[in-house]
Amino acid sequence: MELTVFGATGGVGQEVVRQALDAGHRVTAVVRDPARLPVTGDGLTVFRADLTDPAAVRPAVAGRDAVLSGLGARSRADAGVAARLTRTVLAAMEAEGVRRLLVVSAAPVGPAPEHDGLLDRGVRGIVSAVLKDVYADLAEMEAELARSATDWTVVRPPRLQNKPVSGRYRTVVGGFPARGRFLGRADVAHAMLAMTNDPATVKQGVGVAY
């Protein structure tokens, strides 16, 4: 497939690029600073952009089979970037008639797991309070997706870890795995790539966790 990856220098984005190339896909990585992308490969095109102008981004998405995004705040100080930058991506995709989009959000933005225990509810409440601005940004990003004409999927992982890809995790379409507390960034990327051609995940939030 022909794929475009936004947020390609982030932890999840780099893994999406690497795994997609390993699987034989052709990848356009959209970055602000190409020097921050350590991934290389014959099928890789690096596209430099700052995501302030949808027209400037259109060549990066034109004719692509799918767009995958790891855009989001890396700290509370960055809250607001996920919704703002995703609007640019959506405008470029809609202008080019590209429909398939997968993005990373976070577990607390979606519904709580069924049969959730007291400990998990308590931890979720604390984390949501501490990072409320970040999660509000992600919730607005999800609302932008819902208003768009794209065939979107929101992937909602819990706390992220730096672990090798395992391919062994649980997914719940429209919900979240019970007692799902962690997921490696590499497995978030694996899940996104696996969902790219999965019609059951279109216009859905998908909880993913070990």
Query: Above 70 in pLDDT, residue 205?
Result: yes
| pTM greater than 0.85 | yes
Question: Under CATH, what is the fold of the domain 2-209?
Answer: Rossmann fold (3.40.50)
Mean per-residue pLDDT of the chain: 92
CA distances from 64 to 86, 188, 192 (A): 17, 21, 16
> Residue range 158-181: average pLDDT?
96
Task: Please report which confidence band the pLDDT of residue 132 belongs to, taking 50, 70 and 90 as the band edges.
Answer: confident
> Residue range 62-81: average pLDDT?
84
Domain ranges of the chain: 2-209
Q: Where are the alpha helices (DSSP H) in the chain?
A: 11-22, 54-61, 81-96, 118-130, 132-147, 185-195
